[in-house]
Amino acid sequence: MDKFEETLVHGCADELQELKAWLFRENIRLSTATKELERMQEKFLQEKVQFQEEMKLLNHKISSEQQRLKEDNQFFAKKLEILQNGFKQLDIDRRRLDKEWARLAAEKEFLEEHSMYEGISEVSVFFHGVKNPLALKKRYKDLSKIFHPDNLAGDTEIIQRINREYENLKREYEGFKQA
């Protein structure tokens, strides 16, 4: 038998009263502690739910950002491919243009050596195929519009050459009229 049981069996009224008071205080303390534990448990459950919601939100944000990053990488890869294809096409165009310039230079040399026109000493690449003053004037206007230095495709050196050739051919055609 322990002290509590012994006091109950053999105890006096004061001891019994003291024991009741102690039991009452202990009961209140345990009740308060239980309520505090329940409150803490509820708080922890709320924090757990809030933490789970935050985790879901963060996981959603992470997956969204990963998807956006994946799409950005795909977009960048497509842009890079377009740029690479553009550079390849530019290189092809440059090579073709170089060949065309070489062909035109060879044609000019040939035409200068073997003039097909009577009395005309120099046949121009720009005025090739022009056989009368009216066609010469029309071609000159068209070339001036294209190669004028204020235009996008304009070039001062080319327009000066066109002007010199036009003046030479114009004088030669006027010489044919007078003759």
Q: Name the nearest CA neighbour of 125 among 154, 162, 167, 159.
A: 162
pLDDT higher than 90, residue 42: yes
Q: Are 169 and 130 spatial neighbours (Cβ–Cβ below 8 Å)?
A: yes
pLDDT computed for residue 3 by the predictor: 64
Q: What is the mean pLDDT of residues 145-154?
A: 83
Angle between helix 3-10 and 13-113 (nearest 10): 150
Place of tokens 């070489």: 102
Max distance between CA atoms of the chain, in angstroms, equals 162
pLDDT computed for residue 45 by the predictor: 95
pTM of the predicted protein model: 0.37
Q: What is the mean pLDDT of residues 46-67?
A: 95
pLDDT computed for residue 111 by the predictor: 65
pLDDT computed for residue 112 by the predictor: 66
Please write the tens of the pLDDT for every residue from 139-149.
999 999 888 88
Q: What is the mean pLDDT of residues 45-64?
A: 95
pLDDT computed for residue 10 by the predictor: 65
pLDDT higher than 70, residue 20: yes
Mean pLDDT for the chain overall: 85
Report in angstroms the alpha-carbon separations of 74 from 56, 60, 63. Answer: 27, 21, 16
pLDDT computed for residue 85 by the predictor: 94
pLDDT computed for residue 179 by the predictor: 56
Please write the tens of the pLDDT for every residue from 102-138.
888 887 777 666 554 444 444 567 888 888 889 999 9
Q: Name the nearest CA neighbour of 121 among 178, 179, 169, 177.
A: 169
Amino acid at 120: I
